[in-house]
Amino acid sequence: MAPTDTDFDLNTDNMDLTNCDREPIHVLGHVQSYGCLIAITHDWIISHASANVGDYIDATPDDLIGTAFSAHFAADVIRILRTEMQTLTIASSVARIFAVDLFQNGRLFDVSVHSVDRSVIFELEPKSKQSLRDDMAMIQPLLSRIRRHTTTVDLASEGARAFKALTGFDRVMMYRFEQDDSGTVIAEALEHGMEPFLNLRFPASDIPKQARALYKKSLVRLIADVDDPTHAIVPQFNPEGKPLDLSLSITRAVSPIHLEYLRNMGVAASMSVSIIVKGELWGLIACHHQTPHHVDYERRSAVELMAQMLAYELMQKEQDALQEQSERAALMQEKLLSRFSTDHDIMANFDLIADEIESGLQFDGIVIFSGGIYKGRGAIPTEEEFLGLARFLNTASTGNIFATDALAQVYPKAQNFSDRVAGVLALPVSRTPRDYIVLFRREIAQSVKWAGNPQKPVNVGPNGTRLTPRQSFKAWQEIVHGRCNPWTAREFRTAESMRVTLLEVVLKLTDEMNLARKRANEQQELLIAELNHRVRNILNLIRGLVSQSRANVEDIEEYTRVLGGRVLSLARAHEQLTAKNWTAASFRSIVEVEVAGFLDDQSDRIHITGEDVRLNPEAYTTVALVVHELVTNAVKYGALSIAQGEVSVSLFRENDGITIQWTERSGPPVKAPDRRGFGSTIIQKSIPFELRGTADVRHKVTGLEATFWIPSYHLEKGSDDETVIADAEIKGLTDVSAIEGNCLLVEDNMIIGLDASDMLSEMGVTETFMANTVARALKMIETEDIRFALLDVNLGTETSLPVAEALVEQNIPFVLTTGYGDASYVTENYPPVPILNKPYEEAELQAGILRVLKTGQS
């Protein structure tokens, strides 16, 4: 039940405009006269209609309520509306149809469609004139002018001029919300001779809370004529006793209080446009006109898009300002850290700390209080006064910055030093004892230009006990005593960053230093143990190389050369690992380093293909020895021993690991060795024994071939130049690469078609051929190379069944889409194929396509 007048506070002694916060403006139950409203249930039965529907339709609300929508509108119109309803979850919460001939009599309407609760609401606005124009084309040149400016105020000023040109209103104000929810006019464009409102501040209560909530849902609100009669929604309540929610309605009437507010300002028509930045209401574009003024729905839609682009530009400017502030704060910290002495005594570095903080934060005085010692400079309390303040600060939350621009209001004893201090920002820099760096600001008598008295004395007017808005909007000054300039959000961020720096680096207490020394000792012991472990492993490995390399060598010179090469290979591998802090390293780097050591400027004789992998340190040294022996043998006996010989190295993932294929070609004839030396043992046994992998070496006449497989637990993700392709585990179907080739997309709605085309492109489809009729689709089947198709069942005046039959003849698989919900009666003549109900998501589309591509049409 909607609140009545008696729901509001009748005590006028305590009344102010915050009573408006209780007015249910989203269910006022009326529409303005420039359009009408019809609401239907989900089975297309008309449930509500505005009282003025007869001005646009040859029927009264009584004729409409409870009847089928199809009894009053043609089938083609219903098809258009149904199609637009499909786009609600794709494009936005409100669908728009411009210049549609609803009654097929040449009279054109703009139509808004949106869903709320269990109803779908259609709002109809007649086209006021039929001039050739492109509203959207106006946005880009206006936006280009806005983008030229570098500051928020300059950008807002250009934006106000742009919106005035776009809407034709006499006055356009850019209204920014402040921290206390009041709003300041930061830019204005107005007709000559009008009284300016620039820099005026409007109290927070001018815009009630529920109005702010609506501004975030519905971005544009037009009042074409403040004196125009409104028209009730019939019936007022649904069978459950609830009024129709008009939050997203474009014709919704506004509060009588707001209309009275506008009349008091001499405004006959207005329009508000929300500026949403990061999901929050940053401000409004307020448009006023001295006479009734209607902006049609198509132009309002362009205005809404322009406002969204403006919000993006404002967000970018604010991000740039935040980035600049962050860079200044980082520079301040860097300077503090670089200049801070090795002495961690706070007081010994007082001036250094104060100077660096002052470079990033404005203050009139600073006090550092640490270990019971007080030191300060500038406009500050005495030590005795500060000790009392410190006890008050101790009651605040631990570890949080405390700030106020009116200290005396929360700490009355501050009145004793109000001649020096009005506001504080306190940074706690320890837990026990409570130590602080406190910044102070003097009082400033702020001259705030209010657009009327912000306290709003009550004048009971024509709206019963509800408050009549103030009659005068002359600026007056409110001198604010006992306050300093407020601490801004940016200053808070800078202060918090500084607090963390001082806590972690500058103000280290003795126990923290002892803890750091303890951790350093533990780390040193751990490193020594790790070093001992690695040195023992390396020594054991070298010992094995020394012992095994003696076999099959003729003299000490050859033994020295063989052993030296193997030790050098280990050194190279160790060098690669230590360069990356003993983390995973690239397989490609092993080959490149070995080849560079043997072939110098002929490294192009080895070709590496496939996806590079990163081997963990344990695997890296083993594989490095194997590659060293392969390269050594190729240079001495194999393909690299003659000028025309080449080696190819291929990598590919399989069996939950990586396969490495070594192939030598164009070298001398190869035969298997009569006996196996230590080098052959390294090649054939190292990877199976050390890494639990496999090795297969084949001595073919055309050249040596070897295949190695390394399990995946020796690999790490993120090679230096690999492209990671995500698995497509969608409803049990895999291998996204299967979705390739050309697709035929048969869809008569452009927006749905474009959205589906984007999805297909993301899946890897080569090209999507779009057709909106059966004839066009059949021609594409004949002329284009189609791998699969996506068919909409209903194409308006025809179905896609002939296309499906042609695809079956050509053995081309396809998926059906439909907006009918239970579509069995529509698709019974089609072959058994996957059917997607609109609106569908990318995962569903992908699963359907993969199913027909993998399993066939049946």
**Separation CA 668–CA 635 (nearest Å):** 11
Region 284-292: mean pLDDT is 94
pLDDT in tens, 822-850: 556 667 778 888 888 777 778 788 888 88
Instruction: Read off the pLDDT band of 734 (50, 70, 90).
Output: very low
Residue 666 has pLDDT above 70, yes or no: yes
Residue 198 has pLDDT above 60, yes or no: yes
Q: What pLDDT does 709 receive?
A: 93
Residue pair 184/190 in contact (Cβ under 8 Å)? The answer is: no
Lowest mean pLDDT segment, chosen from 22-26, 147-151, 478-482, 733-737: 733-737
What is the average pLDDT score of the chain?
Answer: 79
pLDDT in tens, 413-441: 999 999 999 999 998 877 666 788 999 99
- Picking from 607, 639, 798, 619, the residue whose alpha carbon sits closest to that of residue 691 is 619
Instruction: Read off the pLDDT band of 367 (50, 70, 90).
Output: very high
> Of 24-28, 54-58, 139-143, where does the model show the most confidence?
54-58
| CATH 3.10.560.10, applies to 736-855 | no
Which is more confident, 88 or 736? 88
Topology alike, domains 345-445+481-508 and 549-716: no
Burial profile 281-297: b = 16 or more Cβ within 10 angstroms, e = fewer: bbbbbbbbbeeebbbbb
Residue 12 has pLDDT above 60, yes or no: no
Sign of the Cα pseudo-torsion (789, 793, 794, 798, in order): positive
Q: Which fold has domain 135-226+253-320?
A: Beta-Lactamase (3.30.450)
Instruction: Read off the pLDDT band of 247 (50, 70, 90).
Output: confident
Interhelix angle 587-599/556-579, nearest 10 degrees: 140
Q: What pLDDT does 471 receive?
A: 45
CA angle 498, 501, 505 (to 5 degrees): 150
| CATH 3.30.565.10, applies to 549-716 | yes
Q: Which CATH number fits domain 345-445+481-508: 3.40.228.10, 3.40.630.30, 3.30.450.270, 3.20.19.10?
A: 3.30.450.270
Lowest mean pLDDT segment, chosen from 178-182, 361-365, 594-598, 625-629: 594-598
Cβ atoms within 10 Å, residue 549: 22
Alpha helices in 67-203 (DSSP H): 75-86, 139-147, 152-167
What 3 state SS string does 756-800 have?
Answer: HHHHHHHHCCCEEEEECCHHHHHHHHHHCCCCEEEEECECCCCEC
**Separation CA 263–CA 239 (nearest Å):** 37
Residue 852 has pLDDT above 70, yes or no: yes
- Grouping H, G, I as helix, E, B as strand and the rest as coil, residue 43 is coil
Cβ atoms within 10 Å, residue 262: 17
- Grouping H, G, I as helix, E, B as strand and the rest as coil, residue 365 is strand
Q: Where are the domains of the chain?
A: 32-126, 135-226+253-320, 345-445+481-508, 549-716, 736-855
Superfamily of domain 32-126: PAS domain (3.30.450.20)
Residue 288 has pLDDT above 80, yes or no: yes
Which is more confident, 71 or 431? 71
Which is more confident, 761 or 211? 761
Alpha helices in 87-168 (DSSP H): 139-147, 152-167
Instruction: Read off the pLDDT band of 269 (50, 70, 90).
Output: very high
Q: How far is CA 113 from CA 27, 220, 747, in A?
A: 18, 15, 21
Sign of the Cα pseudo-torsion (735, 741, 746, 750, in order): positive
Residue pair 361/495 in contact (Cβ under 8 Å)? The answer is: yes
Residue 479 has pLDDT above 90, yes or no: no
Which is more confident, 629 or 186? 186
Residue pair 295/168 in contact (Cβ under 8 Å)? The answer is: yes
Which is more confident, 469 or 686? 686
Residue pair 133/98 in contact (Cβ under 8 Å)? The answer is: no
Q: What pLDDT does 146 receive?
A: 84
Alpha helices in 288-418 (DSSP H): 297-339, 350-358, 383-394, 407-410
CA angle 461, 465, 471 (to 5 degrees): 30
- Picking from 438, 448, 394, the residue whose alpha carbon sits closest to that of residue 417 is 438
Residues 6+ apart with CB under 8 A from 332: 356, 357, 359, 360, 494, 498
Q: Is 149 exposed, middle or buried (0-12, 13-18, 19+ CB in 10 A)?
A: middle
Residue 512 has pLDDT above 70, yes or no: no
Q: What pLDDT does 755 receive?
A: 82
Instruction: Read off the pLDDT band of 36 (50, 70, 90).
Output: very high
CA dihedral 761, 765, 770, 776 (to 10 degrees): 180
